[in-house]
Structure 1
């Protein structure tokens, strides 16, 4: 119910197009989708997975379904985790855990920022925690001597399969995988009589490594990308932000504080943010003493504290300097500069502590009453998360000109240069928020993009050096031969201000397509990167199969045990 309350507008027809979220009717396995261009491979294997899925299902449906699934999994996973670690909290405690996992500023802000695939990884975090903690706990063995050892091996295989599956699902993006791997390694050190800490840590690292192969391989074989210009503006622009009445640390503790002030729900833009943060932290604090006594949950509490304090430190002067130095040394680690997104690591611990609040207050307050008050308080202090964050997260329809222009270019795929030069666009038919240009994810051809972003009047440079050179040529009035020599096959001008001295192939008030005729070869490493994606997909499928097999065998064994324990005729 909570997941649907948040995502209900997405059940309608249309495409998610909001800031970083771009869905199109169809995506293709271009070099950019495979991470084989100058840009860092930050959207792998997400782009490849959507390209595969959109071959059989409309891409807009695929993206919306994955987003809804991610939020639903967050709540369900938090409830399952609470049931495993806090069985005495019962259904009331599970409801509190699910509410905290779904109904919080982090979900709202990442929805408004368009980070749909990150929310899939977010939804996998409690499942990763539960899977690793299950390995650390004692497996359930059946008492029959002849099959006891087989049951132990089968349980371990199914448990490892769960770790494989959830890490692969979280690995839809590099950030999601890094979050999930961190949770897995933290849970590997939890106390328990089951598999050893070393075994759980090795399994987690191995699963994370194979799930990361798509972007690791792409990073190793791509044409080459660099940090570009000075990273100082980028690091400071993406640092966590203090909300009204709160410090940066307080905002992060309330699971808010995203860098983009425009991607914040209205209730967090006033002093009401203080009330919301106090309510959430009060619910969590009430359950902390109980959770500390359940030693298996302590690592997740420690992780929650670190997930709040470390991003806060990253937003200080020394922290910004340290992050900048790291990114300058290793450009591929630019993924760490958005400090607030690491607050997702606090969610499993917060959800468990919320469930434990029911246990803490049970001697004085009925569990149902405690759960009802806690859930209502959490929801009431973030009322605008409902209905797509107040209707801002909703599907839109592309004008027909976009489909017609895409069909023209797809009939003869060749590299595409796009004007205007900004990576972000504003379309009257897509709402008031800026959006990433949809063409790179729609066309069968490569679209030359710089990756430059304008934030607060500052330009954060991207890695698209060649695209920047081509755009400079276009703005300088380069002729057709010059553009063709630079490998440009098409030029698309988005909007009605199109007046280039090039042959027009398609013209509309929305788009104008010019034919240039140039081309450039595809990357020779496509097969290698596709093979890495095959490993990721195999891990997803094998992990799911192992979990399913274990569940079926476990249910069958439980049924046999129940039958064996029933009194037979003559026993009465």
Structure 2
């Protein structure tokens, strides 16, 4: 095989292997239907409501995610868009890990596959999928690519176009990660750390632009001035898994706050065994990763990623202690926007690049040990053959060790496959949802019964799911933002929604609904939940449509709320984010055309 063909396979095989792992996880979801699992809600069509743009009563936590779906779903089925993004994110995470260890360590093919396995097949992926945080995984997937873009920017020479291309690539990474606010924070942290202090100001500006949709929406909606419920700090703190302390769970890339959103294997002693194996592999490669080489920039970046991995594990662990909880409670009450930090386990994603480097380096270290043993054997027998040269080590030794490490990483978490043990699958909505959406043709927001934000539909499985009404219907749906966690309820920012919900449950007058801008009431009949004395209020409304699953009522004499003053500004922020997202493609196209023109 020629060197050129071998190099091509070295690039293609990690990409194909990452795709294979991704498909093993997502196959049940690829059937026709929609993702509806806890916080994940995909629908055939979304609408550019105020809430979708981040201008609702609640904090803009799903921005620009909801705005993107609202813009694209009139052209492409919304469920398909979510599936494509999720598959692309998992694939990009694995392939990015392979490219990262190749660039920073010179890792051979087999070691790249180990890094890909660790980044794709781990408890963090399993738990976030079960919690429904599909869009957060775009931020996770962007991390290795952000490291690479920032590294190239750090070592870029004087060529102006080369620098522009590197900035463009970094902009695309930050925008992709910025599909959610947490993802934006993850990528910005890595970019600032890697790029160096001289360019950090430019990176911060770029990160702010990539985060413009939710930053602008937060600023103009007034939500930033509202403190978060401090009860959420304890509710969303990292959790110790069986036979592991909190720090052990986090070091094993697990420990999500919701004990129900974990694969079965993480509820058994296998979780402790898997964590020990993972940390052993990381420890085996640590010395190689932090060792100095001929390129000081790459050495420094490797060391920074290892330090970041340690911080990403220790800080959430400390935050789950009584002292840490006290500090976080003060932050969310006193500092606007600090509620974004409540779910500290999300930030364990920052450990993934460092872990990937160590896993690949562990392969190299064992290859080196085998080569030394071969040299000693040759010396003892008086052989004149020379030791295996470093360039040949991977081809001779790495595959066997890689297979061992891949098995050690995947076997304890086999139930990540097939939709995390079949829990993540495609569902089908009743036709009544489409019928109701077509009947809503007048002014006013929508109130929904039963009370609360979570549902258990016959077609959605046993896990609670977010109400799909806000993404399914063409008007703003009032939601309180209250989240039931364990034995307590974390209050949300939706004060108007809470007043309207209380009014319905108490059987209040329809005129009061109209005063609060409510033009419609939707009753979801096929899910349990509090209804209170709402029949008294519904009797005063005009029935519009009724099926076995849904009933729609119209409120007379509604007083529609005015269009938000800054809606156009928020839309402009979304457009700016979209421009950054496609910037690398535009730059690549320009460079391709330029090369052809020169030829």
Would you say same fold, with TM above 0.5?
A: yes
Match of 1:322 among 318, 327, 331: 327
Partner residue in 2 for 1:146: none
Partner residue in 2 for 1:41: 60
What SS does the corresponding residue of 1:92 show, helix, strand or coil? helix
Whether the 8 Å CA contact 1:2–1:102 is kept in 2: the answer is: yes
Partner residue in 2 for 1:429: 459
For 1:108-123, list aligned pairs within 5 A.
108-123=126-141
Match status 1:522 vs 2:538: no
For 1:140-155, list aligned pairs within 5 A.
152-155=159-162
Match of 1:534 among 559, 575, 592: 575
For 1:15-34, list aligned pairs within 5 A.
15-34=34-53
For 1:18-97, list aligned pairs within 5 A.
18-87=37-106, 89-97=107-115
Whether the 8 Å CA contact 1:228–1:461 is kept in 2: the answer is: no
Give distance in 2, aligned partners of 1:305 and 1:506: 56
Give distance in 2, aligned partners of 1:433 and 1:312: 27
Give distance in 2, aligned partners of 1:455 and 1:226: 24
Can you give the 5+ residue segments of structure 1 that lack an aligned partner in the other structure? 140-148, 190-196, 561-572
Match status 1:129 vs 2:147: yes
Give distance in 2, aligned partners of 1:37 and 1:68: 30
Give distance in 1, aligned partners of 2:208 and 2:516: 38
Residues 381-437 of structure 1: per-residue CA shift (max 9 Å, x gap): 11100011011111100011111112112x335200011111111111110000111
Give distance in 1, aligned partners of 2:439 and 2:95: 45
Shift of 1:555: 11
What SS does the corresponding residue of 2:561 show, helix, strand or coil? coil
Match of 1:270 among 257, 268, 272: 268
Partner residue in 2 for 1:288: 286
Partner residue in 1 for 2:480: 450
Distance change >3 Å, CA 364–CA 553, structure 1 → 2: farther
Shift of 1:226: 5.3
Give distance in 2, aligned partners of 1:245 and 1:521: 55
Partner residue in 2 for 1:347: 352
Whether the 8 Å CA contact 1:327–1:333 is kept in 2: the answer is: yes
Partner residue in 2 for 1:259: 257
Partner residue in 1 for 2:191: 184
Give distance in 1, aligned partners of 2:591 and 2:425: 39
Residues 57-91 of structure 1: per-residue CA shift (max 9 Å, x gap): 0101011111111111100111111111111x211
Partner residue in 2 for 1:159: 166
What SS does the corresponding residue of 1:382 show, helix, strand or coil? helix
Partner residue in 1 for 2:316: 311
Match status 1:362 vs 2:378: no
Partner residue in 1 for 2:218: 219
Shift of 1:313: 0.4
Shift of 1:490: 0.4
Partner residue in 1 for 2:436: 405
Whether the 8 Å CA contact 1:36–1:223 is kept in 2: the answer is: no
What SS does the corresponding residue of 2:337 show, helix, strand or coil? helix
Match of 2:449 among 378, 394, 419: 419
Whether the 8 Å CA contact 2:152–2:166 is kept in 1: the answer is: yes
Give distance in 2, aligned partners of 1:384 and 1:413: 48
Larger displacement relative to structure 2 (152-161 or 295-304): 152-161
Partner residue in 1 for 2:7: none
Partner residue in 2 for 1:333: 338
Match status 1:512 vs 2:542: no
Give distance in 2, aligned partners of 1:226 and 1:418: 27
For 1:236-251, list aligned pairs within 5 A.
236-251=234-249
Larger displacement relative to structure 2 (461-470 or 502-511): 502-511
Paired residues in the alignment total: 536
* Superposition RMSD in Å: 1.8
Shift of 1:206: 1.7
Residues 233-273 of structure 1: per-residue CA shift (max 9 Å, x gap): 21101000001111000000000000000001100011111
Give distance in 1, aligned partners of 2:340 and 2:419: 26
Whether the 8 Å CA contact 2:227–2:335 is kept in 1: the answer is: no
Shift of 1:479: 2.6
Shift of 1:448: 0.7
Whether the 8 Å CA contact 1:37–1:223 is kept in 2: the answer is: no
Match status 1:545 vs 2:590: no
Partner residue in 1 for 2:198: 198
Can you give the 5+ residue segments of structure 2 that lack an aligned partner in the other structure? 1-19, 293-298, 371-396
Whether the 8 Å CA contact 1:67–1:117 is kept in 2: the answer is: yes
Whether the 8 Å CA contact 2:227–2:332 is kept in 1: the answer is: no
Shift of 1:353: 0.9
Give distance in 1, aligned partners of 2:254 and 2:463: 20
Larger displacement relative to structure 2 (12-21 or 361-370): 361-370
Give distance in 2, aligned partners of 1:549 and 1:10: 36
Larger displacement relative to structure 2 (357-366 or 312-321): 357-366
What SS does the corresponding residue of 1:69 show, helix, strand or coil? helix
Whether the 8 Å CA contact 1:225–1:463 is kept in 2: the answer is: no
What SS does the corresponding residue of 1:345 show, helix, strand or coil? helix
Partner residue in 2 for 1:487: 517
Give distance in 2, aligned partners of 1:523 and 1:213: 18
> Moved runs in structure 1, 4+ residues, more than 3 A?
223-229, 496-499, 547-557
Larger displacement relative to structure 2 (102-111 or 483-492): 483-492
Give distance in 1, aligned partners of 2:232 and 2:568: 33
Whether the 8 Å CA contact 1:226–1:463 is kept in 2: the answer is: no
What SS does the corresponding residue of 2:135 show, helix, strand or coil? helix
What SS does the corresponding residue of 1:504 show, helix, strand or coil? strand
Distance change >3 Å, CA 556–CA 329, structure 1 → 2: farther
Give distance in 2, aligned partners of 1:253 and 1:129: 21
Partner residue in 1 for 2:501: 471
